[in-house]
Structure 1
């Protein structure tokens, strides 16, 4: 059995895990989760009781959730390469540190913005307060990443890593929330995000999110649905 990634749309951070799988080039399948359709399929509780994506069904039938854990699992599948540096090496520590920053500080900076976007019961002053708080936190993250990328080609140096794959999904939220002109205020980060967006793996992930039938350059073997997985999930 190949691993199955459960990815969320629209605008899920699981986008980065799809990019990572494409870069890895090993066989995998996808299962689509429409995050705005409520309630979610009850079978998903057996995958992640927190009802969050991404999640990864491993070859041994176990489930792995949280982007950091999933990306480090993928890194271990490509040991001693830029995508999967050897654990205990300086390169592994740098990857772990950057991923930890991205999935905590940078990701959470957008939380107030998503609340303002999703909570219909908020009045306009509450919405504006959340947008102001979110923008302030996102600015701090963009400033940090822009400074890093002023001195290097990729987040960790001269070669791409799974940290860049994750950023390809979360970094696009700046434009999605229309916070500011990224090209004017943070040109190095804007350049990097544009480069990532034009990567074949990111174009593939975008097409997948749009529901298009597309072939990847990696090991994508197609989608599976919850009904196809029902027997195994109910037995779990």
Structure 2
């Protein structure tokens, strides 16, 4: 069995896990999950009871939810590529600190803005949500730009899984016009460098539904129905 990533569209945070899989180079497949229709369906909840993406089904059939858990799972096999670090080292601690910041501060900052957009907030409710979201996103960008400083990548001279996770979230500013990334030169430089990366370009093409050839271990896409049938036959 080949590991399979359930990724959410449009513009899910699972984008970072696609990039990470490409960088890792191991065989994998993708399964496209439309949001909100399919991700909340009974069929998908048999894979992830929370009705969220991403979910990674490993080659052993184990299911891993949450981006941080998936990235650390992949990172354990990507140490020789510099994507992660051995547990117990300072590098591993720094990686998890950055992933935690990206998850709890950078990702979460967009929450009020997504709520206003996806739930059709109007009037004063929309104004309050957007004002609060704008303040949170601005703070998150300011802090992350300071953490990055003059470093080439988020953790230093080599790209890691933190950079993969960052690019999947950073692009959300196109939906919410509350900050100009050019006001944060370090983040803009990192964003542009990642956007030129073949794995990132591949992930964009996948999300757009285009036929794409990865430079890693991509073995094609399969539908959720086909995946569930395969699981039933293997049971």
- TM bin, normalised by shorter chain, reads over 0.9
1:170 aligns with 2:193: no
Q: What are the within-5 Å matches in structure 2 for residues 135-174 of structure 1? A: 135-174=134-173
CA distance in structure 2 between the aligned counterparts of 1:140 and 1:36, rounded to whole angstroms: 28
User: Is the contact made by 1:152 and 1:158 (CA closer than 8 Å) also made in structure 2?
Assistant: yes
Q: Which residue of 2 aligns with 1:25?
A: 25
Contact 1:80 1:86 in 2 (8 A): no
How far off is 1:150 after superposition? 2.6
Q: Which runs of 4+ in 1 moved over 6 A?
A: none
Secondary structure of the residue that 2:30 maps to in structure 1? strand
Matched-pair contact (CA < 8 Å) for 1:55–1:63: yes
Work out the CA distance in 2 between the residues paired with 1:147 and 1:40: 37
- How far off is 1:38 after superposition? 5.8
Corresponding position of 1:197? 195
5 Å matches for 1:33-112? 33-37=33-37, 40-112=40-112
Q: 8 Å contact 1:43–1:234 — kept in the other structure?
A: no
Alignment size in residue pairs: 234
**Partner of 1:33: helix, strand, or coil?**
strand
* Structure 1 residue 37 displacement after superposition: 2.6
Which sits farther off after the overlay, 92-101 or 159-168? 92-101
User: 5+ residue gaps in structure 2?
Assistant: none
Question: CA deviation digits over 1:61-106, x for unaligned, max 9?
Answer: 1110000000000001123441121111111111111111111111
TM-score (norm 2): 0.95
Matched with 1:13 is 13
User: What is the TM-score when the length of structure 1 is the normalising length?
Assistant: 0.94
How many Å separate the matches in 2 of 1:81 and 1:230?
33
Q: Tell me if 1:179 matches 2:172.
A: no
Deviation at 1:195, TM superposition (A): 1.1
Runs of 5+ consecutive residues of structure 1 not aligned to the other structure: none
* RMSD over aligned Cα atoms: 1.5
68-77 or 143-152, which moves further after superposition?
143-152
